[in-house]
Each structure stands twice: as structure tokens, then as C-alpha cells.
Copies of this chain bind each other. A is one copy, B any other.
């Protein structure tokens, strides 16, 4: 493996890390005080892919440790944005539902984020995003699979 090839992969992950940092900061600037990106993304996930999922499934969707997800969910529950019920199919497990107030807040946040997206779309057009997405998805899926293979 050539040094320069290695360093391209490092640069790739480095760029991704910086973009993650920047986009997270931008998002958090629009969130209610004390609210953090991870909590919003969970809320968003529940709307996009549907609720009634287990905490573990959600943790896996974002590839975060399950104890981190326990924490995020407990915050969302404390704020009345989700409901956590026991899973009738499995006594070990729970199911997560978004509440009306969670749904409303999510929509409010998305609306308030629109101007930011509009500005980004000016400098980084939608076609670019469309071209980028499949490749990133491919990379993500591969890393996912590779991780599973390792564990």
C-alpha cells in the first residue's frame, strides 16, 4: 500500500470529519437551547423511516453505541418528544414512538433550517448533492458491512 494512497483515505475521512463538524454546528445553531444534533437526528429518523422501532435498531441506524442511544432517548422522553413503550413481542426490548409534540418540533426545526439549506444550495448546487450521495452511501454501506465482519 503506497503512502500516498493511504494519505488519500486519511484526507477523505478528514474532510468528512470537518464537514460533519461544520454541518452539526450549523444545525445546532437552529435547535432550541440545550438541544443537540444527535437528538434531532433521532427525531427526524422516527418520522422518515417510521416509529415503533427498538432503541437498538435506532442505534444501529446511526452506528452509535447503544448506551449512547439510551441517553439520547431518555432526553427526548424527558422532554415529551417521544414515548418509549415495552415491546409486547420481546420482554427485553422496547419500542420508540414519536409524540405529536415531537413531530411538531421536528417540523419547526426543519422549517427554520430552510434558509441555511437555501444558502448552501447557492454555493453547492443540488446536482452535486445528487451526484455525491450514491458514492457516500456506498462507502457507508461498505464500512457498515466491514464493521459487522470485524465483530
Interface, chain A (partner B; CB < 8 A)? 1, 5-27, 37, 41, 44, 48, 62-64, 110, 113-114, 117-121, 123-124, 126, 128-133, 135-140, 142-147
Q: How many copies does the complex hold?
A: 2
C-alpha gap A113/B146 in the complex (Å): 14
B62 touching A18, Cβ below 8 Å: yes
- Which chain B residues lie closer than 8 Å to A144 at the CB level? 22
Chain B residues, Cβ within 8 Å of A139? 19, 124, 128, 132
Seed contacts A6-B113, A124-B139, A128-B135; 15 additional CB < 8 Å A-B pairs: A1-B117, A9-B117, A9-B126, A11-B133, A15-B133, A16-B19, A16-B20, A17-B37, A18-B140, A19-B143, A26-B147, A123-B142, A123-B146, A128-B139, A132-B132
Q: Report 20 cross-chain contacts, Cβ distance below 8 Å, ordered by A residue.
A: A1-B114, A6-B117, A7-B48, A8-B126, A9-B117, A11-B133, A12-B136, A13-B20, A13-B27, A15-B137, A16-B23, A17-B41, A21-B62, A25-B147, A26-B143, A120-B142, A120-B146, A123-B145, A124-B138, A124-B142
> Cβ of A44: which chain B residues have Cβ within 8 Å of it?
10
Are B143 and A23 touching (Cβ within 8 A)?
Answer: yes
